[in-house]
Structure 1
Amino acid sequence: MATMTDAITAPIGIVQEDPPRRRSLRPRAMPARWRITAWIIVSTVFTLLAVGLMGRSIFLSSVDQDANVDIEQEAQEFLRFLEDSSTEFTSAEGLLQEYLDRQSVHSNEIILGAVDGAPVATANGLVEGSDASLGFAGGQTLVLQMLDLEENAGVVESTAAGPLRWGRVDFTAGDAQGALLVLQFTEAPRAAVDQSVVTIAWVALAGILLSSGVAWLVAGQILAPIRAVHRVAREINEHDLTARVPVNGTDDIAAVAITFNQMLDRLEDVYATQQRFVDDAGHELRTPITIVRGHLELLSEDQDERRETLRLVSGELDRMTRIVTDLLVLARAQQPDFVRIAGCDAATLTLDIEAKAQALGDRRWQLMEVAEGHASCDPQRITQAVLQLSANAVQVTEPGDRIRIGSRFDGEGAQRRLRLWVQDEGPGVASADAARIFERFVRGGAPGDTAGPRRGSGLGLAIVRAIADAHGGSAWVDSVLGEGATFGIDIPAPDSTDAGEANVIIESLSGKDA
């Protein structure tokens, strides 16, 4: 039957738009390995290109500087020659001819002597060209221009023989005005620099190809753990969380693999805890649910029978509630905040536990031994564990039986431990049960015990062990069949000081006296 709510629709005139869809990110077309290799190649190419251009510029500048140094050196030599031979020559022509005959010029140099603006002698290092006197086309005109300039040095960027750097030394010999002109051509050194740059470029290209192969291999090695993570993540499903990424080395990539494995460990623990909770709940709750359903299906109209049925059902529901509570405690035992460590006084903790245990049943409660000192633990969880042991002792004993409680420190220094124990006079624990009695849903019993199955869910001792394990300790049982049993827990309690800490043996009886 349709309800009023079903008939309500959107108001007229209002268009209900679909919620905006999140724009899906397109996966990168190029694999990560290729991207890493490409970036390495691009960065290497730009680096080599910048180094090559900068190096060429430096080398060309060095060529110009060397030309200037040669010109200055030649000028200084000529000046010294003038000083040494000023009295030997009567004419400027003879002086210049003598000087130039002594010179040995290199292939990119011309030294020219001129008197009154006209060349009279030449030392030419260039090969012969169209102009027989200077070795390059237009040389005579260019020389005459240099001799007429007021400046005594300069640069000509374009000649038939290439860029030219020149310098002039003027002197006077008698009535004649002489000049020594030094020409340095830089075309051949510049060509040598360019040839060297080309050679370096070919070597750099070979280096780029080699670095590309190395980058490809290294990128593959770096990304191997990532691929392993991807493979493991793809293989994991809800039924199998055991796959792990192999860890090789101690670098950052290995740290990623270790962290991923630790995450899988936590997920596996959580999944195992949840699965165990579901399995345990299904296993243990099936019986009370069946009992409750059966009684409710056969519920009679008779008031007395209904009252009795409701009492039984209420009892089963209480038992179910306790089972679920115990299972939740065990599930929480896997969480980091299950115990909250704090400093506490062991004597006060023991006395509080003994006082609370007296309300569990009509027994002769006896406090045998009290540890005096301080320990780091979760007092509430320790109290819960010892009271659980006390409740179990009540279940296996009869009114008036003796139950002993005690605590003591064992060991010294960093190995010291706090031991709390409960001793009963019940039937004891069979040796076959002692090894597994702290497991879930295990109920111990003595051979030939006619009392039937022990009461309880079989989770109490499992909770005790979980509390002890959370403290880094252990749960234990010491039993002689037919003479009772002693259950206890040991937790680490490193000794911070020896002063004022001891085990005090006392005897405190409560309840009925023997």
Structure 2
Amino acid sequence: MSRSASAGRRAELTSATTGVIPAYQRTLAHLTVRARLMTAVVVLSAVTMMVAGGTAFALQAAQTDERIDNSLSRTVAALRVVEAGENPETGQPFTSVADVLIEGIRSRVPTKNEGVVTLLDGKLHRQPAVQTRSVRLAEDPELVTVLAALPPDAPALPHTVTTSVTQYRLIAVPVLMNGDPSAGLFVGAFDRSAEMSGLRSTFLTYTAVGLGALAAISVVAWFVVGRLLRPIRLLRDTTRRITESDLSERITVTGKDDLSNLARTVNAMLDRLERAFGSQRELLDDVGHELRTPLTIVRGHLELVDADDPDDVRATQALALDELDRMQRLVDDLMTLATADRPDFVRLDRTDVGRLTDDVHDKARGLGDRRWVVASRADVDVLLDAQRITQAWLQLLANAHRYSAPGSTVRLGSEVAGDRLLLWVRDEGPGVPPEETDRIFERFHRGQADRISHGAGLGLPIVAAIAHAHHGRVFVEHPPANVGSGVVFVLDLPAVDLVDGRPQPVTELVEYL
């Protein structure tokens, strides 16, 4: 074959292979997961049965051939005994090849599926008398032709010969005598096909049982796989029923396997999505309301302004600018909250908490007429974002100023309690109603008390977002009745410092109340 023809043949084979593989992949792609698993189980079971059956059949066949070869070896040994013995008719050693062959036939009684025949000078010589269980080798002309063609010095080894009649396992032993020019051949053979018939029958039965077992495996696997995939079907049906306006559907979970855990995870995801969509709708409603109010005010005053009255124009201008400033603050607060979940929302750095406390105190004095007192000061260095913490702390101080009387005392402090850094603000205002304590950190929440009636309701949520970004929290506590009125807002943050490049807890304790 030329090189170009060989290359063309390889190209054809490659093209055929690349065409079969995508077709197989497309077929699998159209099968359901249940069908794929069923196919995998049945194919794996069938391959296992085939390998086990084929291996067992091969071992049994090898054992059968070994048994036949042992019997043939005994035939050779018996013939050698005859050659070395005496002729029973003369009482003298054998001198004729024909006599050895005859005595060999007489001394060998064939077993079931075994036959013996002798050849003298390439022609049939003798075979045993008719035996009901023996094989008549002389009646197979193809075998006789093969035996006649064997050379006189051929080695006496067992081998297999197949004819149109059957398959034989035989051994041909040359017989030569000094002084006799004749060449004899003593042949012992087994009908190997007959010997294997029982084994084949057994494995045909095995095949039938295996097919029945595959059918049973298929039925059982169909129901088992269906039960295992039930959470996925429920997941599919549930997700089909979920719409943008209805996220209340959940998957019924009863098991404890991996698929059941997947269903639980999806249910938890749906809970988060429902909360997120609810918060989004509430946010859009609140933002729309907050922006609509200043726009309505500005529009109304602009429509009623008297362009010829300078005082009216200046008053309307001041009002419009004030409302636009409020809208700007609202947008800035929303942008802060929108970026609170980003990794770069806070930039941790080693910060001197004592100096930070003094800086926040200095800035708080510009908020208004209050007695601003530093009640405690933690002289430690911790990891935090000084700008964000200042923003949150000043928001708490601004709230304290807004909801306390002029001339009252507002205390602030910093301390370390165990492995926590506490930054707190305490005022002498009316406090927070107990029913609103858990809701004041929600976006746009306004309580019934005047304490949280001003602004857009985003200040405390921003404080909570900054605390959360530091892996901390913000909470409210009321002082004991014998200490006084007011409320305490506490930023609870991890007290972590860097020592030799590794985070280490800071320990110090001060009672902030």
Same fold (TM over 0.5): yes
**Which of residues 439, 442, 447 is equivalent to 2:446?**
442
1:18 maps to: none
For 2:293 and 2:143, how far apart are their aligned partners in 1?
Answer: 123
Q: Is the 8 A contact 1:468 1:490 kept in 2?
A: yes
Cα contact 2:118–2:125 (8 A) shared by 1: yes
Name the counterpart of 1:404. Answer: 411
User: 2:148 aligned with 1:145, yes or no?
Assistant: yes
Q: Kindly state the Cα deviation for residue 139 of structure 1 after the two structures are TM-superposed.
A: 9.3
| Aligned pairs for 1:251-266 within 5 A | 253-254=259-260, 256-257=262-263, 260-261=266-267, 263-266=269-272
Task: Report the counterpart of residue 221 of structure 2 in structure 1.
Answer: 215
Where does residue 185 of structure 1 map in the other structure?
191
Partner residue of 2:210?
204
Match in the other structure for 1:476 = 476
| 1:20-169 equivalence runs, <5 A | 30-42=31-43, 44-45=45-46, 48=49, 63-64=64-65, 66-83=67-84, 89-91=92-94, 100-112=105-117, 119=125, 122=128, 125=131, 127=133, 136=139, 138=141, 145=148, 150-151=153-154, 153=156, 155-158=160-163, 160=165, 162-163=167-168, 165-169=170-174
* Conservation of the 8 A alpha-carbon contact between 1:113 and 1:181: yes
Moved more, 419-428 or 93-102: 93-102
| Number of residue pairs the alignment of both structures matches | 469
2:320 to 296, 313, 317: 313
The normalised TM-score by structure 2 is 0.74
Query: How many Å separate the matches in 2 of 1:236 and 1:155?
Result: 73
In structure 2, the CA distance between the partners of 1:231 and 1:376, relative to structure 1 (3 Å rule), is farther
Deviation at 1:336, TM superposition (A): 6.2
User: Quick one: which amino acid aligns to residue 427 of structure 2?
Assistant: D
TM-score, normalised via structure 1 length: 0.74
Deviation at 1:330, TM superposition (A): 4.0
Q: Are the equivalent residues in 1 in contact too, given 2:476–2:487 (CA < 8 A)?
A: no
Aligned to 1:368, what secondary structure does the other structure show?
Answer: strand
Sort the Cα spacing of 1:102 and 1:349 in 2 relative to 1 into closer, same or farther, 3 A: farther
Provide the rounded CA distance (Å) in 2 between the counterparts of 1:442 and 1:142: 113
- Post-superposition Cα deviations, 1:277-330, rounded to whole Å, max 9, x if no partner, equal 112223434433332232122122212112112211221222232233334444
Cα distance between partner residues in 1 of 2:103 and 2:380: 114
Aligned counterparts of 1:58 and 1:26: Cα–Cα separation in 2: 38
With over 3 angstroms needed to count, the CA separation of the structure-2 counterparts of 1:78 and 1:351, relative to structure 1, is farther
Tell me the equivalent position of 2:389: 382
C-alpha spacing 1:173/1:251, structure 2 compared with 1 (3 Å):
farther
TM-aligned CA deviation for residue 273 of structure 1: 3.0
How far did 1:122 drift?
A: 2.5
- My pick for the range that moved more, 54-63 or 384-393, is 54-63
Three-state SS of the structure 2 residue aligned to 1:122 is coil
One-letter amino acid of the structure 2 residue matched with residue 314 of structure 1: L
After superposing the two structures, state which structure 1 stretch, 147-156 or 462-471, moved more.
147-156
Aligned counterpart, 1:224: 230
| CA-to-aligned-CA distance 1:389-434 (integer Å, 9 cap, x gap) | 1112222346554332211122x3xxx3222122234455556665
Partner Cα separation in structure 1 for residue 138 and residue 132 of structure 2: 6
**Cα pair 1:118 1:144 within 8 Å, conserved:** no
Alignment-derived partner of residue 456 in structure 2: 457
Question: The residue matched to 1:457 in structure 2 has which SS?
Answer: coil
- Partner residue, 1:271: 277
CA pair 376-225 structure 1, distance change in 2 beyond 3 A: farther
Match of residue 379, structure 2, among 368, 372, 384: 372
Residues 40 and 215 in structure 1, CA contact (< 8 A), matched pair in contact too:
yes
Which residue of structure 2 aligns with residue 288 of structure 1? 294
Worse overlay, 398-407 or 202-211: 398-407
Look up the match of 1:297: 303
Q: Provide the residue aligned with 2:20 in structure 1.
A: none
Instruction: State the Cα deviation string for residues 355-413 of structure 1 (Å, max 9, x = none).
Output: 32233234432222111334444433322221011112222346554332211122x3x
Q: Is the 8 A contact 1:429 1:444 kept in 2?
A: no
Alpha-carbon displacement from aligned partner over 1:30-88 (angstroms, at most 9, x marks no partner) = 43323432354355546655666676666556655544443223102332454465895
Residues 231 and 349 (structure 1), Cα distance of their counterparts in 2 relative to 1, 3 Å cut: farther
Query: d(CA) in 1 for partners of 2:232 and 2:188?
Result: 69
Amino acid in structure 2 at the alignment position of 1:31: T
Q: Distance in 2 between matches of 1:128 and 1:104?
A: 9
Secondary structure of 2:472's counterpart equals coil
Moved more, 306-315 or 239-248: 239-248
Give the structure 2 partner of residue 467 of structure 1: 466
8 Å CA contact retained: 2:105, 2:126: no
**Contact 1:372 1:503 (C-alpha < 8 Å) held by counterparts:** no
Structure with more relative contact order (C-alpha pairs < 8 Å, separation 6 or more):
1
Corresponding residue number in structure 2 for 1:394: 401
In 1, the alpha carbon distance for the partners of 2:197 and 2:437 equals: 96
Question: How far apart in 1 are the matches of 2:505 and 2:244?
Answer: 53
Contact 1:90 1:173 (8 Å CA) reproduced: no
- Paired position in structure 2 for 1:420: 423
Residue-by-residue CA offset, 1:206-232 (whole Å, 9 max, x unaligned): 122122223322432343232122122
Whether the 8 Å contact between 1:426 and 1:482 is mirrored in structure 2 is: no
Cα distance between partner residues in 2 of 1:159 and 1:428? 110
Offset, 1:158: 1.4
Deviates more, 1:198-207 or 1:81-90: 81-90
CA-CA distance at 1:459 after TM superposition: 3.0
With over 3 angstroms needed to count, the CA separation of the structure-2 counterparts of 1:488 and 1:77, relative to structure 1, is: same
Relative to structure 2, which stretch is displaced further, 155-164 or 90-99?
A: 90-99
String of CA shifts for 1:9-49, please: whole Å, max 9, x gaps.
xxxxxxxxxxxxxxxx9996543323432354355546655
Unaligned runs of 5+ in 1: 1-24, 447-451, 506-514
Question: Do the aligned residues in 2 keep the contact of 1:128 with 1:136 (CA within 8 Å)?
Answer: no
Q: Deviations over 1:322-343 (max 9, x none)?
A: 2333344445446666555555
Note if contact 2:416-2:510 (Cα within 8 Å) is conserved in structure 1: yes
Q: Tell me which amino acid in the other structure corresponds to 2:401.
A: V
- Partner of 1:371: helix, strand, or coil? coil
Q: Percent identity?
A: 35
